A and B are shown apart, each in its own frame.
Chain A
Amino acid sequence: MINKVKVSLSEKILFVFLILLFLITFGSYFLLKDKCLFVKKINLNEVNFANKENIVVMNVECGNVIIELDPAISPNSVERFKSLIKNGSYDGSTFYRVIKDTLIQSGDLEYGNIDDINYTKIGTGKSGLGLLKSELSDEFEFKKGSVAFARKDNFDTEDSEFFITLKDIPIYQGEYTPLGKVIYGIEALEKIKSGNKSAYVLRPDYINYFKLLD
């Protein structure tokens, strides 16, 4: 006859430890996988905007990003930016160029859309609307969250590509055409996938949609 085996205290502790280890392992797998977990979500209905006509909303994987445009500094560029947003040109546009903790770039309408991305030509696409003259400002400070049109090496080559700074970059003052500033949601942009050692990103994150608030 087999006597009933009594479980010792150390065996009980070991059992509890194994259960906890299992829970932590699987819990953290699902939690860590969600890169947006700690990003504060912006509810547009809870925010009052003074100049609604200059507010645009970019939706990315980790939520909404609210940008206030500044047409007083760069009227033609802001007008172009708004018209591209209005007709949905930026929807699906990838953040193909990301300098980690420094800036993110998007807006190649020809080769940079997530539905038809062309890795060999990305960054050279055109909007079809022609180039714009640079509208530079010695007053606009490139603080964290500044939004500006990207350009080629020369001035007056702005088209549709834009970048957003993830830190203060004072040296860009007077170098790029400013469009406005992120007023809410910079945390969502800080989660945009980077290429680590490279500025270019494979299988990049993208803009779900971009719309005018008004």
Chain B
Amino acid sequence: MRILLILISIGFITAVKADEIYNLIKIPNLDIYKIDTKNKIRYLNTSNDFRIGLEKNITCARTEPNNLSNKFLIIKKNLNSYSPSFLKKNNIRYLVMCENLFISNINTGGIPDTKKRTLVIDINFNPKYFERMIHHEIFHMIQKSNSKYFDEEKWVSLNTKDFEYAKCSTCSDRLNLDLYKNTEGFLTEYSKSIPSEDMAEVFSFLMTDKAKVEDKSDNDIILKNKINFIKSSLSKIDSSFKF
């Protein structure tokens, strides 16, 4: 019995990093940045580096106060585009802000986790794409929460028959996030990686630069159909949602 207790105690002591926020979303070293918000989003700051995931392959570093206060204003402004009911329907409740976010040593802008209703954002992500990245990651949470409205087969069928997406978003070199001059069905090179990234790119451009994207779609029937697909799916989730 004594040996069993010792063995269990080793497991207990090494396995748990306990505090009230960890208790809730299973990310250690966070503190509250702002929780009293209009759309009920709860902003959490990373006070110390963390490493999470089943294989501890997700890492992110603590924030620097000045950097955080500047980026928080941008993040908040963009999150304020969504109503509390829309965010609730899409399981978006906690936004974790940290610096230099990596998954398996690949730098990434954000990690959505609908189960924990949490979006982790790298505040050091390229400023040129930072605002769009926020909406891009939010789209992934929308899609995961409402997968029946975002049928990927249907989406693929909107492209020309000879086009093929890559097998996964990180196993291709289609990574550029700049808007194409000639869209030909795709807004960016990254849109060509996988269907869900393509959808997220359309959504994020509609959130940040709607006029320009709709203008481009006037001469691009594939893009036009994709925009209509996204709009129609979102209206099924929340009829009051507007870009």
Taking Cβ atoms with an 8 Å cutoff, the residues of A that contact B are 99, 102-103, 119-120, 153-154, 169-172, 174-175, 195, 197-200, 202-203
Q: Is the CB of A99 within 8 A of B18?
A: yes
Q: Is the CB of B20 within 8 A of A103?
A: yes
Q: Is the CB of A102 within 8 A of B21?
A: no
* Cα–Cα, bound, A199→B21 (Å): 13
* Cα–Cα, bound, A195→B5 (Å): 13
Most buried by B among A103, A169, A172, A199: A199
Q: Is the CB of B42 within 8 A of A102?
A: no
Given A171-B20, A202-B5, output 10 extra A-B contacts at Cβ < 8 Å. A99-B18, A99-B23, A102-B18, A103-B20, A154-B115, A171-B42, A195-B13, A199-B12, A199-B23, A200-B12
B21 nearest in chain A by CB position? A171
* Cα–Cα, bound, A202→B16 (Å): 14
Interface residues of B, count at CB 8 A: 20
Q: Is the CB of B115 within 8 A of A153?
A: yes
Q: Is the CB of B116 within 8 A of A153?
A: yes
Q: Is the CB of A170 within 8 A of B35?
A: yes
* Cα–Cα, bound, A195→B13 (Å): 8
For residue B88, give the distance in angstroms from its CB to the closest CB of chain A: 10
Taking Cβ atoms with an 8 Å cutoff, the residues of B that contact A are 4-5, 8-9, 12-13, 15-16, 18-21, 23-24, 32, 35, 40, 42, 115-116
26 contacts between A and B (CB under 8 A): A99-B18, A99-B19, A99-B20, A99-B23, A102-B18, A102-B20, A103-B23, A119-B4, A120-B8, A154-B115, A171-B21, A171-B24, A171-B32, A171-B35, A171-B42, A172-B20, A172-B24, A195-B12, A195-B13, A199-B12, A199-B16, A199-B18, A200-B16, A202-B5, A202-B9, A203-B5
A174 nearest in chain B by CB position? B40
For residue B205, give the distance in angstroms from its CB to the closest CB of chain A: 33
